[in-house]
Amino acid sequence: MNGALLGLFGIMAFAMAYRFYGGYLSKKIFSIHIKDEKGIPTPAFTKQDGVDYVPTSSSILLGHHFSSIAGAAPIVGPAVAAIWGWLPAMIWIIFGVIFMGACHDFGALVVSMNYDGNSMAIVAEKLLGKKARNLFLIVIFFLIWMVIAVFALVIANLFVSFPSSVIPVNFEIIVAILMGVFINKGGKSLTLPSILAQLTLFFMIYLGSLYPISLSSLFGENELMAWMILLLAYSFMASVLPVWLLLQPRDYINGHQLFVGLALMIGGLFLVQPAVVAPALNPHPKGAPPWFPFLFITIACGAISGFHGLVSGGTTSKQISKWQDARKVAYGGMLGEGLLALLATLAVTAGFESEAMWHNHYANWNAANGLSAKIGAFVSGSAKFISGLGLPLEVGETIMAVMIISFAATSLDTACRIQRYIIGEFGVTLKMKTLENRYVGSFIAVASAFLLMITSDGGKGGLAIWPLFGATNQMLAGLTLILICLFLIKEKKKILSYLVPAIFVILITSVGLIYNLTLFLSQKNYFLVVLSLVLSLIQLWILVEAMNLFRTKKRES
């Protein structure tokens, strides 16, 4: 199978989906154009505070949203899921993104905007009551807690493995702040500053390759922990600063980086036209869990992700200037992430020289599931595509490494900001005003993640509960889809576009949680057994509340 043909099919499918299905959701399901026509302001204007609620142009916001949801997950997930074969991964990524993931992100954004840009937990309270809000808060806090602890570990590992990335990744922060000041002071055209920023960053990639930076001389074997502490300190700073000063411009720059990276990969893919050496189907790889439901849970952010709903209904909904921008930012942003996941799948299935090399890399589940294996397969495969454009293989590897780290860092600081909002909402629930302070909330967010890290040697405590991430993430996506359905019922709109994805995602989540429960019991890991039971009960409780409301609304109609 020609990898370029698969890539072309995916690109065409995403383009058609944005034009037709995205347009259908925008006009027929949510009718958001009517609000713009009536001059109804978005929460960015009605609650403008210069810190979190900041009206933002759609081009800048698309970069922010895209970077926040992308991270490393749409690379890591497909890199593991390829062990079951390229065909099921490609089918789920393409059609899962179009009919589930992009719908989920778009719907979460629009519903949040209808409730003053508040989180899905507040939306749950408005639709289902305070009990549902508190349950949502618990699930969201748990999910973000894992994300912060593990993403800090991932980025720290990448800094250690790719010391040439340290200079360009950190220099990007300085460039972002300068661009943020320029935009805030009324800078009209961003074309020249954007070009200069990208050229400077690519020069820094070259400089980083000449002068790699390692902290091992200062901290020795504690280098990994030193990087994690520095990353948490940065995340605290990014969470409390006004969104326009660092988060927006950094993500805007990252968005351009990803677009350039994707363009290089696509161009190289079409020129090299590599053969897909992986098998189309590999249903029983050694040591792997069953492909159903774990293919869908493993790919996660590459097709649909509950974390995206937190970004849509956590930060992005506070910055949308026009209602109709929601389609471009959320539906379009998720299609972009789907394209990244698609290319990641091709990189790890067509990026090997031979079928024997692929089988050696994916010899068993443990080999494919290791962090270095995930990242390494993507970096080397992508670099092979890029080398088709005439760039040296080493340069292509550095570009890909910097791109991964930049996006993982973006997801990290966005997660800290979302966790700060969640802690503030806990403060409202518990009537503890102190928790609503953004400095206190941000400190608790990073401190709690740090405490999780140090429960294991080397700061790897987050990995102890990471086996629950995929199911928890998808569970949150399913529950968010249920909330969107309830909102549409309230608005007297058709719900089929959201009900079908909700049922499917909740089904795979439930099966995954049950499988994990039996696995943890066999391993006598009673801590994860208890957590799995708690998550299952929370999901069941919210579903019962939603079904009761649905029956009530049906009787009323």
User: Whole-angstrom Cα distance, residue 552 to residue 167?
Assistant: 58
Burial class (CB in 10 A: 0-12, 13-18, 19+), 13: middle
pLDDT of 172: 85
User: Whole-angstrom Cα distance, residue 272 to residue 388?
Assistant: 6
**Closest residue by Cα to residue 510 from 547, 536, 476, 480:** 536
**Closest residue by Cα to residue 539 from 132, 111, 265, 171:** 132
- Give pLDDT tens digits for 352-399: 888 888 888 888 887 666 655 667 778 888 888 888 888 887 778 777
252-266, 385-399, 533-547: which is most confident:
533-547
pLDDT of 439: 95
Q: What angle do CA 93, 95, 101 make, to 5 degrees?
A: 75
333 pLDDT above the threshold of 90: yes
CA dihedral over 196, 202, 203, 204, signed as positive or negative = positive
- Give pLDDT tens digits for 149-203: 988 988 888 888 878 888 888 888 888 888 888 877 766 667 777 788 888 888 8
User: Whole-angstrom Cα distance, residue 255 to residue 332?
Assistant: 13
Q: Are 365 and 285 in contact (CB under 8 A)?
A: yes
Quote the pTM value: 0.89
pLDDT of 370: 63
pLDDT of 10: 95
Helix (H, G, I), strand (E, B) or coil at 234: helix
- Give pLDDT tens digits for 198-240: 888 888 888 887 888 889 888 888 899 999 999 999 999 989 9
CA dihedral over 23, 27, 33, 35, signed as positive or negative = negative
Give the mean pLDDT of the chain. 88
Q: Peptide bond preceding 293: is omega within 30 degrees of 0, i.e. cis?
A: yes
* Residue 56, φ and ψ in degrees, nearest 5: -135, 140
CB crowding 318-345: b at 16 or more within 10 Å, else e = bbbbbbbbbbbbbbbbbbbbbbbbbbbb
**Domains in the chain, please, with CATH?**
3-556 (1.20.1740.10)
- Give pLDDT tens digits for 415-444: 899 999 999 999 988 889 999 999 999 999
